[in-house]
């Protein structure tokens, strides 16, 4: 029997700040899923930025294969996604919430999409490596966002997530109604939220779960001149080097982030409860993850855009039928989820395009294995492609503009000792350097990125001049057929809508 799938995605949620992974963020619902399922402790994004990361997640391909360079890179309709494959396996699929698709295709294989997105779907957020030191104030992160952290009754982010939460649960109930009248089929819901992404502004009920005295300060403080060159470019880009946060601001921002982590966990709990009420728990696999992490003041850095652990690592919890209990140290990443999902659904004979990921379904069943993680970053503040290889205890980072970095995470989990030139690591560093050149052509990739940026910058200007050419998704709605209308049989409508139905 094919299981139902509920995949719940946060935005910018680093596992280091979650109770599930030993952090301070109160997450009882995710904890409960981890206790009865599998918690992956070495899961990563493949690019520490929203659009590239999500393109890899949806396609199972590395970002350089699908040209998902940055937050304004179009995701082509010709790229198959896990939604397409699940449809071919008989699933009905739904996206509720954020996926940040750029381009006119705003569904990418999902049967249903029940909300709009929260960010622009056009080329307005295109960076420009030909002016890499020029700040993009209209849409770029800065420290004012952090300085204004706190509480509010509502923000555009809570408006969005509240709608995505309600719409996801209503879609689930509709699947229960379908099954009640004999029209059921396996389903996959992707509920994707914007929290705890900055701005760090929380609802009071979640803020009050914490006390200022209990908020952990950054474990590692680092002066700007001690940062590696790429980290310094990112810190300069978000203005962290010219507007450092004081202790009060740090506590307020981190408290709001933790509060929004609990807000996300609360929505997880509501979805789990809805599936339980439907009677589908025993046939539903839950997956909890994020698109990337958040530095949240570590080293004086904020947000993402880095392959350091707080930015690049993600939570990954999987629970449901066939999933073994326990922690798992298999190295894995978001591109592994496409083959994992298709395996859960019964498997496909062949993939329409080569995928870069590897199914972790065997690990979910208790058969851990030696994996690897490949990362690529080609967006703002970089100036040249940044490549990362994580294998075993070692992480290697390459950028043509910077000295190479090599960290032994078993001995140096805070990544403060670059051993790329350490004689004890000469052989490993040389092997990684050769592998980078074997996998990629950095100069060619840089030229492709700049050519794409220049084309999109000009296209955006022309589209903006032409007027309203927005690709933003407008969910279809037919109000004249909702609830009870003049052409409806009231009794039939009430019977159909009541879930669970009365027993005959």
Q: Coil, helix or strand for 329?
A: coil
**Which range is least confidently modeled, 37-46, 264-273, 391-400, 456-465?**
456-465
Compute the distance between CA of residue 24 and CA of residue 134 in angstroms, rounded to an integer: 37
Q: Cα-flanking dihedrals φ and ψ of residue 478, to 5°? A: -120, 85
Does 59 map to a domain?
A: yes
Please count the other Cβ atoms lying within 10 Å of the Cβ belonging to residue 477. Answer: 9
Place 466 in a pLDDT band, splitting at 50, 70 and 90: confident
Q: Which pLDDT value is given to residue 138?
A: 67
pLDDT digit string (tens) for 346-399? 999 999 999 999 999 999 999 999 999 999 999 999 999 999 999 999 999 999
The average pLDDT across 129-156 equals 86
> What CATH number does the domain containing 34 carry?
3.40.720.10
The gap from C-alpha 236 to its chain's centroid, in whole angstroms, comes to 24
14 inside domain: yes
Banded pLDDT at 239 (limits 50, 70, 90): very high
Residue 200, φ and ψ in degrees, nearest 5: -85, 80
Residue 394 forms part of a structural domain: no
Answer whether residue 449 is part of any domain. Answer: no
pLDDT at 470 over 90: no
- For the cut 70, the answer to whether the pLDDT of residue 139 exceeds it is no
**Average pLDDT value for residue range 239-262:** 96
Looking at the predicted structure, is the pLDDT value of residue 45 above 80?
yes
Query: 298 pLDDT exceeds 80?
Result: yes
Interatomic CA distance for residues 82 and 200, integer angstroms: 31
Is pLDDT of 435 > 90? yes
pTM of the model: 0.97
Q: For residue 190, what are the β-bridge partners?
A: 7, 95
**pLDDT confidence of residue 490:** 84
Element (H, E) at 284: strand 284-290
Mean pLDDT across 428-443:
98
Helix (H, G, I), strand (E, B) or coil at 477: coil
Share of the chain above pLDDT 70, in %: 99
Query: What pLDDT, on a 0 to 100 scale, did the predictor assign at position 495?
Result: 84
Q: Could you list the active site residues?
A: 50, 100
pLDDT above 80: residue 469 = no
> What are 178's two structure tokens?
């379908």
- Asked if residue 366 belongs to a domain, the reply is yes
Domain containing 250 equals: 4-374
pLDDT > 70? residue 137:
no
**pLDDT value at residue 504:** 73
Specify the higher pLDDT residue, 441 or 144. 441
Query: Which DSSP string corresponds to 366-433?
Result: T-----EEEEEE-STTTSS-EEEEEETTEEEEEETTS--EEEETTT-TT-----TT-GGGHHHHHHHH
Mean pLDDT confidence for 104-129: 96
Which has the higher per-residue pLDDT, 470 or 419? 419
Tell the burial category of 218 from Cβ atoms under 10 Å away from its Cβ (0-12, 13-18, 19+). Answer: middle
Taking residues 185-213, report their average pLDDT.
98
Share of the chain above pLDDT 90, in %: 91
**What's the chain's length in residues?**
504
Counted domains in the chain: 1
Residue 381 lies in a domain: no
| pLDDT score of 503 | 78
Distance from CA of residue 471 to its chain's centroid?
21
Residue 325 lies in a domain: yes
Mean pLDDT within 179-204: 96
Name the one residue in this structure whose structure tokens are 């978000």. 238
Tell me, yes or no, whether 471 lies in a domain.
Answer: no
**Does residue 463 register a pLDDT over 70?**
yes
For strands 112-113 and 92-97, give the pairing.
parallel
pLDDT of residue 130: 93
Q: Residue 489 has what pLDDT?
A: 86
């Amino acid at each position: 029997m094919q299981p139902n799938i509920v995949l719940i995605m946060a935005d910018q949620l680093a596992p280091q700040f979650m109770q599930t992974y030993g952090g301070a963020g109160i997450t009882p619902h995710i904890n409960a899923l981890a206790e009865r399922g599998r918690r992956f402790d070495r899961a990563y994004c493949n690019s520490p930025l929203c659009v590239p990361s999500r393109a890899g997640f949806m396609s199972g391909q590395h970002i350089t294969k699908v040209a998902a360079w940055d937050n304004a890179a179009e995701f082509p309709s010709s790229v198959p996604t896990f939604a397409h494959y699940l449809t071919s396996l008989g699933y009905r699929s739904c996206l509720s919430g954020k996926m940040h698709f750029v381009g006119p295709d705003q569904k990418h294989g999902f049967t249903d999409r029940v909300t709009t997105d929260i960010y622009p779907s056009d080329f307005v957020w295109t960076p420009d490596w030909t002016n890499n030191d020029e700040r993009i104030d209209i849409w770029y992160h800065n420290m004012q966002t952090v300085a204004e952290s706190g509480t509010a009754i509502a923000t555009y982010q809570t408006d969005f997530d509240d709608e995505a939460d309600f719409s996801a649960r209503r879609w689930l109930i509709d699947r229960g109604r379908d099954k009640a009248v004999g029209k059921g089929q396996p389903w996959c819901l992707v509920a994707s939220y914007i929290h705890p992404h900055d701005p760090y502004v929380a609802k009071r009920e979640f803020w009050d779960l914490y006390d200022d005295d209990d908020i952990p300060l950054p474990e590692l403080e680092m002066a700007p001149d001690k940062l590696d060159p790429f980290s310094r470019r990112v810190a300069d880009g978000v203005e962290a080097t010219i507007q450092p946060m004081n202790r009060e601001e740090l506590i307020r921002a981190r408290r709001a982030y933790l509060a929004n982590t609990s807000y996300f966990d609360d929505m997880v709990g509501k979805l789990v409860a809805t599936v339980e009420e439907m009677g589908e728990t025993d046939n539903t696999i839950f997956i909890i993850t994020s698109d990337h992490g958040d530095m949240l003041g570590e080293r004086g850095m904020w947000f993402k855009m880095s392959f350091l652990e707080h930015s690049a690592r993600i939570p990954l919890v999987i629970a449901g039928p066939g999933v073994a209990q326990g922690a798992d140290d298999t190295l894995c990443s978001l591109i592994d989820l496409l083959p994992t999902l298709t395996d859960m659904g019964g498997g496909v004979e062949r993939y329409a395009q080569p995928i870069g990921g590897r199914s972790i379904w065997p690990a979910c069943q208790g058969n851990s294995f030696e994996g690897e993680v490949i990362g690529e970053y080609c967006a703002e503040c970089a100036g040249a492609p940044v490549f990362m290889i994580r294998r075993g205890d070692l992480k290697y980072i390459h950028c043509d503009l910077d000295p190479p970095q090599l960290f032994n995470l078993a001995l140096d989990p805070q990544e403060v000792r670059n051993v790329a030139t350490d004689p004890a690591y000469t052989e490993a560093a040389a092997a990684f350097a050769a592998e980078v050149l074997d996998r990629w052509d950095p100069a060619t990739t840089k030229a492709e990125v700049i050519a794409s940026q220049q084309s999109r910058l000009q296209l955006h200007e022309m589209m903006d001049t032409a007027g309203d050419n927005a690709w933003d998704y407008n969910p279809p709605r037919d109000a004249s057929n909702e609830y009870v209308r003049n052409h409806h049989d009231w009794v039939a409508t009430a019977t159909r809508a009541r879930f669970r139905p009365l027993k005959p």
